[in-house]
């Protein structure tokens, strides 16, 4: 199953983007705003994947609950990741048959700075966990994939999940057809190592 993107959640979007650019030597580009009060900046991870830096939309003062519990986030964290199955609806069915429910498939959208509306479908969780080691599923339909829009590039050197229950996590990953290194640790987390102009940078 193809990696679609990593989600790096930050409590202050503009500060988080500036900090990322300082650490890596690469400046993310503005992705756009979501209806739910969030906005993002993007960096490519090759021709078919990207890193999303997501935070509260600085142009929206609404403090409603946001994805990845952004309204209570105090420090940046690698909060989730997405994979792009060939058939999102069938993948959800198979996962449920295998004992894992990835959530309902729902439509979402965001508007790019140039006014272009991007629309896609993805699986949504009811559980507002801050870090999700099992990927959500995404289907871009007829929308151009964000990685194909000339993003500044970094290289994903490694990507791993950490969990106190390795066997359970591996079973959930298998249910959605996802592959990732899994390591045992005290707390659930994700860790990505990027090759950057300033050397290797770890996001966790």
Q: Which two tokens stand for residue 4?
A: 């679609």
Q: Which two tokens stand for residue 175?
A: 């249910």
Beta bridge partners of 91: none
pLDDT cut 70: percent of the chain above it: 95
Asked if pLDDT for residue 53 goes beyond 90, the answer is yes
Q: How far apart are CA 34 and CA 8, in angstroms?
A: 16
pTM over cut 0.85: yes
With CA atoms as reference, report the closest residue to 203 among 122, 131, 145, 139: 131
Burial label for 72, CB within 10 Å (0-12, 13-18, 19+), is exposed
Q: Where are the domains of the chain?
A: 2-153
- State whether residue 80 is helix, strand or coil: strand
Q: How far apart are CA 39 and CA 34, in angstroms?
A: 6
Radius of gyration of the chain (CA): 16
What is the mean predicted confidence (pLDDT) over 111-134?
86
What is the CATH code for 2-153? 3.10.180.10
Q: Using pLDDT thresholds of 50, 70 and 90, give the confidence band for residue 125.
A: confident
Asked if pLDDT for residue 188 goes beyond 80, the answer is yes
Residues 6+ apart with CB under 8 A from 97: none
């Amino acid at each position: 199953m193809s990696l679609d993107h990593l989600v790096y959640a930050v409590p202050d979007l503009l500060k988080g983007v500036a900090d990322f650019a300082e650490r890596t030597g690469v400046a993310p580009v503005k992705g756009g705003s979501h209806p739910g009060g969030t906005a993002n900046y993007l960096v490519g991870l090759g021709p078919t994947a990207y890193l999303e830096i997501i935070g509260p939309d600085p142009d929206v003062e609404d403090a409603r609950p946001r994805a990845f519990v952004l309204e209570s986030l105090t420090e940046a964290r690698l909060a989730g990741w997405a994979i792009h199955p060939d058939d999102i609806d069938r993948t959800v069915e198979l996962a449920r048959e295998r004992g894992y429910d990835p959530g309902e498939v729902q439509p979402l959208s965001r508007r790019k700075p140039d006014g272009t509306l991007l629309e896609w479908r993805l699986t949504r969780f009811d559980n507002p966990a801050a870090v999700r080691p099992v990927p959500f599923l995404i289907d871009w339909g007829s929308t151009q994939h964000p990685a194909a829009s000339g993003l500044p590039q970094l290289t994903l050197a490694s990507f791993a999940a950490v969990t106190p229950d390795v066997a359970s996590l591996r079973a959930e990953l298998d249910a959605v057809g996802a592959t990732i290194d899994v390591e045992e640790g005290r707390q659930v987390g994700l860790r990505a190592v990027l090759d950057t102009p300033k050397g290797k940078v770890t996001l966790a």
